[in-house]
A = this chain, B = another copy of it.
Amino acid sequence: MTHKIRIILADDHPVVRDGLKGMLGSQEDFSVVGEAVNGEDLLDLARKVPAEVALVDLRMPVLDGVSAIARLRESCPALRVLVLTTYDSDADIRRAVEAGATGYLLKDAPREELFNAIRQTSRGYSYLSPAVASRLVDGVRSSDYDELSPREVEVLTLVAQGRANKEIARSLRLSEATVKSHLLHIFEKLGAADRTHAVTIAVRKGIIRLE
């Protein structure tokens, strides 16, 4: 072996960071060179400390994983990003991959799979865990049909808040007819029976978030 693979961890859970440090420390070709507790921390760290791979969680305070990955592409293009998260919604995966993640792994993956993924990623090969890969493929197959336009997402977000079409029209400065038109398209794209169903489907797919 010539060089150890230098790894930066980014996760807001101390337990997870410690677990990863311990696990990776047991492997001779790995070396954890830094830890970040949120996205901004990760950006700072990556600028200062050279590394081959960053293991990053998607849900982090201050700056979330996807945004951090996107900005990492510019500031540290050489750094490969392996997403390690508990969330496996279609949209989460697609967003992360689009933002420039080299790999995507779920936290319930066995240790050997994690080691494997890191080694693959460090060489520039992309790694998707089997469960994730199949979801992505499903997503691509139907993505031309079920992807909502920005405006449609905007409408659906308000629908999720219990707003009536008339209110939504006022909020977005549209006529009620337009709102209804958007909704019909949304139903068709998502295969939803009604507005409520559309919201639950969109939440499951990660198209909209509650709160």
A residues lining the B interface (CB < 8 Å): 12-23, 84, 86, 107-111, 114, 159-164, 192-200, 203-204, 210-211
Verify A108–B160 contact, CB threshold 8 A.
no
State the number of copies, please. 2
Nearest-Cβ distance from residue A92 to partner chain B, whole angstroms: 15
The 27 sampled A-B contact pairs (Cβ below 8 Å) are: A13-B107, A14-B23, A14-B108, A14-B110, A14-B111, A15-B16, A15-B20, A16-B19, A17-B19, A18-B20, A18-B22, A18-B23, A18-B111, A19-B19, A19-B20, A19-B22, A159-B196, A161-B193, A162-B192, A162-B193, A162-B194, A196-B196, A199-B199, A199-B200, A200-B203, A200-B210, A204-B211
Residues of B within 8 A of A211 (CB): 204
- Is chain A's binding surface mostly helix, strand, loop or mixed? helix
Decide: A200 near B19, CB < 8 A? Known: A12-B108, A86-B86, A111-B14.
Answer: no
Query: Which residue of chain B has the shortest Cβ distance to A60 in the bound complex?
Result: B108
Most B CB contacts (10 A, CB to CB) among A12, A16, A21 go to A16
Q: How far is the CB of A58 from chain B (nearest CB, A)?
A: 12
